[in-house]
Structure 1
Amino acid sequence: MPSSADSLLIIALLVALSALFSMAEMSVAASRRLKLRQLLDQGDRRAQEVIKVQDEPGDFFTVIQIGQNTVAILAGLVGEDAFAPAVSELMTWLQLPPDTARTVAGVVSFLMVTSVFILLSDLLPKRVGMTAPERVALYVVGPMRYLATVFKPVVWLFKRITDLLCTVLGLPERRDDRVTPDDILAMAQAGADAGVLARPEHEVIENVIELDTRVVTSSMTARDHVVHFLIDDSEVLIRARIDQYPHSTYLVCEGSIDHVLGYVDSKNLLRRLLNNEPISLKAEGLVQKVLMVPDRLTLSEVLAQFRQAHEDFAVIVNEYGLVVGIITINDVMNTVMGQLVSPLDEEQIVQRDADSWLIDGMTPIPDVLRALSLDDLPDSTEYETLAGFLMVSLRRVPRRTDAVEWGGYRFEVMDVDAHKIDQVMVTRVQPRPAEA
């Protein structure tokens, strides 16, 4: 049997070896693929080894488990000899019976060895591996791959058995490293919480991700606000309307807005005016073909159509062929930029105090959710705006003072204009407690 000094030396070596296994396990598992690729681009070839281990983790973690269990067994064999003699002498000095002294010495020695291993070979190394995973992984991947080569036969056996168990249980053999929109949003939120991203910048990132889910109706100009001409309008009426509503383009319709013939560019009207030519929408080549898009398209899809058609303006129609509104590329960009451009326009969401908001009825649901810190609203697939939420919830056209309570908030209709909900007061039902 080894002496106490030899046992202490063996314990120290086992602790160091176990710490290496713990740091290797935690650091490789926690290393971020994006950070490793950045290190590889900077010329550190060890990052490639870590990436290979993450792609094929079987051998690596098999070595770790074999090593940790072997260390635990050896620690149990030599642990008692490391501290038991000294503790036994102390118990004898305290005049305990020999049998009792040996029993107490064994228990105390076991607790001391266990405590040392928990602290120095488990908690502390894993804390280090979690704090700086990429840096630690670069240093431990080499020794661990060497151990995998040394114990290759044993590793091969256990790996095949593990693969078989994973197949039987239907578990994946590799981890999924695909970055999802939720991952990007979580990273952006973490950056905003840490102060790395300003709130408007964080909102821009969220809005860009939401381009794939927001439909065009959330950013359009509704039909009631679309300035349009009829093909038979007189020059006097056209001049008056341009003077009252200056825009770069105008829809041209026949009879009503639901019969769109195309659009006219204000620059072409100005050119005719400067050339002293009469302004008639029936003039050849003046009315141009307009891009028509369905109201179920997302903002990213309408951007793709803009790019394909080389247009920056489109008319939105529903399944019945009726005009719902119009959308321009500027509307999409304003949706993306959020607060960076909203000071130039009337805000749709105005926070009155810590527990109440005055919100425009046409505000898109994603903006409402963000302002109220909600995850979702009921039946969210049936509407795109706050007004739609109230209509679906009430199952009728809301009137003033109508209210809906959901998710800890009260949504009260404040103003209705020709069956259109203009303003909604949102109040937190249970106000937040005041901060001390």
Structure 2
Amino acid sequence: MDWITFSIVLFCLLVSAFFAGSETALTGASRASMLRLSKQGNQDAAIVSSLSAMRERLIGALLLGNNIANIGASALATGIFTAWFGEVGVLYATAVMTVLVVIFAEVLPKTIAINAPDRVALAVARPMRAMMFLLGPLVTVVEAVVRLLLRLFGVAAHHNQPILSPFERLRGAVDLLHHEGKVEKQDRDMLGGLLDLRELQVSDVMVHRTEMVMINADLPAEELVREVLATEFTRIPLWREKPENIIGVLHAKDLLRAIRAADGDTSKIDVSTIMLPPWFVPEMRPVSEQLKAFRRRKTHFALVVDEYGEVEGMVTLEDILEEIVGDISDEHDVVVAGVRAQPDGSVVVDGSVPIRDLNRAMDWHLPDEEATTVAGLVIHEARSIPDRGQSFTFHGFRFRVLRRERNRITALRIVAVPREAEVAEKMPRRAGKAF
């Protein structure tokens, strides 16, 4: 009869290995992959998704089945060894079963499952669903006892508050995949830019009014046409009396059609009849809402105003798309316009370069909560408008002002410094030091 008992012990170890591997696979399987496979018609993936939705009951069934198998195997093995060796057989049974359980019923199946959790989860989905059905009554009793004990100790059940939002967890998953080499930097930046749209406002992506190309609508028709054709843009704001008073937006295609209709005589063109009415949007509008507004109005251009109704800049559909896909590099590896890497490891940056673009280009993490541009960040940290030649060290970088025009910082040199050097130079902050 010993061979029957041995067979039962081996069967219990196999059952324990099944539950151990299933626990690792089902808890480690990608819910996104299972959802994708289930939409493609994979029934096993749908079962895995349904099991994951009953997480508490699943864990209860796994632990219950695993412990029943281990305890049963240990009890039977103890009886055999006691019959063979007497009371000392208990020690022999403990030693043998510890080795068998740890190696073959725990470490080995969990190692297999953790190396391919999705595949193992699909393989054990149907058997595990059947085991949950069989162990359902026992699991219900165990859950009731556990809830009662938690209530006695003042612990709230089902009180799960994740530290990060779903968007932050998705961003963390993308960063992890990039760190593991499974996602390229360009793809990571693109996904990160898409997730950032909900947090950005129009003022973060707009072109400031100091960099806008605008034309006086009162210019003679011939001169106005020359100004329009000399620009590289297709939509040009028109102003009257003062640049802040924008009366319309002229589309280059509409102008070309008007020139053709006038048989090339530009003096006959009246821009007031072909210009489009301006569309003003508030600077605090979320970028995600502005993208929806562009799609709804079927236009690509809007003027940005502050809370007082003054024009602050303009935003285009291309500006928003560039927040997702980033700027396109040319054959000279100019990652972002206005950012020039130097042979000594430093970077020369125009003051108007957005911090987000610089972070994306150089893979840095400069804060952009208090300022939009690099120049704005330096002014914010310095609490003043620095002079040419002054240097400041913060956030792990040294910033040296190369050019200043009136009250604007137009060029800076940035170089990474060790944290020790940053602490040593923090006092005083306005010390003018060369690189």
TM-score range, shorter chain: 0.7 to 0.9
1:301 to 269, 279, 289: 289
2:192 — aligned with what? Answer: 206
Structure 1 CA distance, aligned partners of 2:72 and 2:210? 81
Amino acid at match of 1:251: P
Gaps of 5+ in 1: 90-101
List aligned pairs for 1:177-188, cutoff 5 A: 180-188=166-174
- Asked whether the equivalents of residues 272 and 279 of structure 1 are also in contact (C-alpha less than 8 Å), the reply is no
Could you tell me how far 1:27 is from its partner in structure 2?
1.2
Structure 2 CA distance, aligned partners of 1:85 and 1:355? 77
List aligned pairs for 1:324-403, cutoff 5 A: 324-341=312-329, 347-352=337-342, 355-371=345-361, 373-375=363-365, 377=367, 380-403=368-391
- Asked whether the equivalents of residues 401 and 412 of structure 2 are also in contact (C-alpha less than 8 Å), the reply is yes
Structure 1 CA distance, aligned partners of 2:53 and 2:324? 36
Distance verdict in 2 for CA 1:82–1:400, change over 3 Å:
farther
Amino acid at match of 2:395: G
Structure 1 CA distance, aligned partners of 2:228 and 2:269? 13
Paired residue secondary structure (2:326): helix
Could you tell me how far 1:56 is from its partner in structure 2?
1.7
Deviations 1:271-322 (A, max 9, x none): 4444155548866523321111122233322222222222211111222322
2:107 aligned with 1:123, yes or no? yes
2:131 to 122, 125, 147: 147
1:99 — aligned with what? Answer: none
2:258 aligned with 1:258, yes or no? no
Could you tell me how far 1:19 is from its partner in structure 2?
0.7
Structure 2 CA distance, aligned partners of 1:79 and 1:352? 72
TM-score norm. by structure 2 comes to: 0.81
Distance verdict in 2 for CA 1:199–1:427, change over 3 Å:
same
Distance verdict in 2 for CA 1:219–1:148, change over 3 Å:
closer
Q: Which moved more, 1:124-133 or 1:335-344?
A: 335-344
Higher relative contact order (CA 8 A, sep 6+): 1
Structure 2 CA distance, aligned partners of 1:147 and 1:204? 43
Deviations 1:51-108 (A, max 9, x none): 221112333322222222233433443445666899x79xxxxxxxxxxxx86x7656
Structure 1 CA distance, aligned partners of 2:12 and 2:272? 91
Structure 2 CA distance, aligned partners of 1:157 and 1:286? 77
- Asked whether the equivalents of residues 217 and 271 of structure 2 are also in contact (C-alpha less than 8 Å), the reply is no
The RMSD of aligned alpha carbons is 3.5
Number of positions where the alignment pairs a residue of Structure 1 with one of Structure 2: 413
- Asked whether the equivalents of residues 247 and 277 of structure 2 are also in contact (C-alpha less than 8 Å), the reply is yes
Paired residue secondary structure (1:397): coil
Q: Which moved more, 1:202-211 or 1:119-128?
A: 202-211
Paired residue secondary structure (1:381): coil
Amino acid at match of 1:200: Q
Structure 2 CA distance, aligned partners of 1:152 and 1:278? 85
2:406 aligned with 1:408, yes or no? no
1:58 — aligned with what? Answer: 56
Q: Which moved more, 1:336-345 or 1:19-28?
A: 336-345
Deviations 1:7-57 (A, max 9, x none): 654442332121111112111111222322333344432322222211123
2:409 to 393, 413, 421: 421
1:28 — aligned with what? Answer: 26
Structure 2 CA distance, aligned partners of 1:198 and 1:317? 37
Distance verdict in 2 for CA 1:215–1:407, change over 3 Å:
same
Gaps of 5+ in 2: 421-435
- Asked whether the equivalents of residues 414 and 425 of structure 1 are also in contact (C-alpha less than 8 Å), the reply is yes
Identity score, percent:
21
Amino acid at match of 2:351: G
Paired residue secondary structure (1:212): coil
Paired residue secondary structure (2:341): strand
Q: Which moved more, 1:246-255 or 1:386-395?
A: 246-255
2:310 — aligned with what? Answer: 322
- Asked whether the equivalents of residues 281 and 287 of structure 1 are also in contact (C-alpha less than 8 Å), the reply is no
Distance verdict in 2 for CA 1:280–1:341, change over 3 Å:
farther
Distance verdict in 2 for CA 1:134–1:200, change over 3 Å:
closer
- Asked whether the equivalents of residues 253 and 262 of structure 1 are also in contact (C-alpha less than 8 Å), the reply is yes
